[in-house]
Structure 1
Amino acid sequence: MKKIVIFIWLSIFIQCQTQNIKNTIIDSRFEVFDRNLDKSRVDKIDGLIHIIYTGGKTGYSEVGYDTNRYFMYVKNFYASKGIENKGWAFNQGAPIGLWYYFDEDGKLIKEENTDEGYAFTPENIIKYCEQNGINLSKGYHERDGYQTSVYKNELDGKKVWLISYLISLNKQEKEVKLTLDGQTGKVIKREEFPYDSY
């Protein structure tokens, strides 16, 4: 019983950690992109938080990374600057948790639980990577260089996780692609490919 209570407390703690970047709350409230951009991309660094604002004719976005987290928040806005969708995602990969979708009039039209069908949770993925020496990226990284990615997919009607990462063997780098069962975390498939960084 004591182990169950500790596990529940740890799960709640981890979930709170993943859902909060410096008081950023992702919920069903309507939002407006409140910046005037003088170029298509503006980076703002506030302590451990790296926020990227982008904009163009089709719309705007705000993405926030915390140096100590594996997850980023994402907010996409219509060209009118009203919110289109928002939620959390792995820094390099799949959406996680609840995502909220709005129409152009600002009405909430859908809430999607992106973890539905995944008993093997994002927190389980982090633990799996730690236990197997797979380097997951925390915070923001420039797009140069290889970063481990984590995505969701379906295989033969089953929910699966896809993890891609690099290993070095005999001074040669290889890309490893793992497919994990979305219910149990069991490895369904492991593939290796030569990797050339040039």
Structure 2
Amino acid sequence: MKKLFLLINLLIVISCHSQKKNIMRPKIDDKIESLDTILLDHIDKLENYSKKTDSGYIQIMRNQTNISYQFTPNDSLYKIVKIYYLNYMIYNKGLTLNLPWTTFPLGIWYEFDKDGKLVKKINYDEPYKFTFDEVLAFCKAENIKLSKGPVLQGTGFHTTIRRRIEKEKPIWEIQWKKKPDVLETIILDGVSGKVLSKRESQYVNN
């Protein structure tokens, strides 16, 4: 019986650890880095490059001023974004949501000069005392489904989370499909988490 009890406890711990791992934010540090040399051949030949890997989805876009690298881990709500100078040295890096639209910077972002010196550190979460993790808990309590992992264009409607400063006050906005033909938009106070409004609108699948 004692062994059975210990086994059950172990399984619970493993299960809890796995659940936490699925929603854990990837860690972004302030260390200088250069673009992975494995990707350089693709970048030299193409302006845009994307690839599905065993661990997630990579997107690289190059223009006349910089190179954008984005990686969305499997089963994650987050996307790692790194912008590089054309000499392949890091310019800035941080996290956004995994959606390809209406996203915003999350947590601390780091910016570097061309010599690799850290010149700026911005905490984009600071105004929002009602944190993103608390927004996720709110969505879970309201049975609002969030899409994990790579979310690509043309894959239908996905719950969208936005945030902004409105009339000098931080707010969260959640838009989700409440019914097959109904969207609900919920506005939360970015400091207290209080529900400020709920509004329904018709959803038309184009």
TM-score, normalised via structure 2 length: 0.77
TM-fit CA distance, 1:139? 0.7
Q: Is the 8 A contact 2:107 2:123 kept in 1?
A: yes
The 1-side partners of 2:188 and 2:140 are apart by 15
Partner of 1:54: 61
TM-fit CA distance, 1:107? 2.3
1:133 corresponds, among 138, 143, 162, to: 143
Q: Is the 8 A contact 2:22 2:76 kept in 1?
A: no
TM-fit CA distance, 1:14? 5.1
Q: Could you say which structure has the higher helix fraction?
A: 2
2:163 corresponds, among 152, 156, 162, to: 152
Q: Which ranges of 4 or more aligned residues in structure 1 deviate by more than 6 Å?
A: none
The 2-side partners of 1:195 and 1:91 are apart by 22
The 1:101–1:15 alpha-carbon spacing in structure 2 relative to 1, beyond 3 Å, is: farther
1:2-81, aligned counterparts within 5 Å?
18-20=24-26, 25-34=27-36, 35-36=40-41, 37=43, 38-81=45-88
Q: Any idea what the Cα deviations from partners look like across 1:5-26, whole Å, max 9, x if unmatched? A: xxxxx9xx95996333xxxx52
Q: Any idea what the Cα deviations from partners look like across 1:89-122, whole Å, max 9, x if unmatched? A: 2213232211111233332121111110222111
Amino acid at match of 2:115: D
SS in structure 1 opposite 2:135? helix
Partner of 2:182: 174
List gaps (5 residues or longer) in structure 1.
Answer: 1-9
The number of equivalent residue pairs is 180
1:143 corresponds, among 134, 153, 157, to: 153
Q: Is the 8 A contact 2:22 2:75 kept in 1?
A: no
List gaps (5 residues or longer) in structure 2.
Answer: 1-15
The 1:42–1:174 alpha-carbon spacing in structure 2 relative to 1, beyond 3 Å, is: same
RMSD: 2.3
Q: Could you say which structure has the higher strand fraction?
A: 1
TM-score, normalised via structure 1 length: 0.80
Partner of 2:193: 185
The 1-side partners of 2:61 and 2:113 are apart by 20
